[in-house]
Amino acid sequence: MSKDYEYLSDEELKELMEAIEGDEDEMVSAPEDFEAQVLDFIEEQEKITQKRNSKQVRFKTVSGKKDDKKAFDYAIYCAKVLVSVAAAIILLIILPQISGIAPFGGSVPSREEVVSTANIVTKDEVLAGYNTKSREEVLNENNDEGGLLPKLQMIFDHTREG
């Protein structure tokens, strides 16, 4: 065997194959009617599935078996879901056709109506409540050298020269 993964070497594999295949008389063979049995089994299974597919579902509530009760409860649940989906689809189709039905009792307002009734506040109205300085006031504030604008001008001039 190889030390890496303990695989059989080629020679060992050949010896193993010869030992297994060896003599045809020593090998176990399948029963003579095996193929016929398999084909018969497959046909029976197909008949059973066809019968299951063709039968209608019948629920037994009298027997009191646990599986029958679960099946019945599941059928009731499916029926409820089916009815609720059908009702929702009917409502989606009918309600838009009926005039006057909308949220809050009236028709749905247009965009223009909503915008006209909205309380729109401008930027100036919002900023009026805050103590804000204009751009010029900030630039001309009194600093050591007479304001921010001369400092910025000096920086720009210095970067252009350098």
Spatial contact of 74 and 68, defined as CB atoms under 8 Å apart: no
Each residue of 67-119: pLDDT tens digit?
888 999 999 999 999 999 999 999 888 877 776 555 555 667 788 888 888 88
Residues 52-65: tens digit of each pLDDT: 877 655 555 555 56
Instruction: Say if pTM beats, i.e. exceeds, 0.85.
Output: no
pLDDT at 2 over 50: no
pLDDT in tens, 105-161: 566 778 888 888 888 888 888 777 777 777 777 766 665 456 677 777 888 888 888
Give 103 or 28, the one with higher predicted confidence.
28
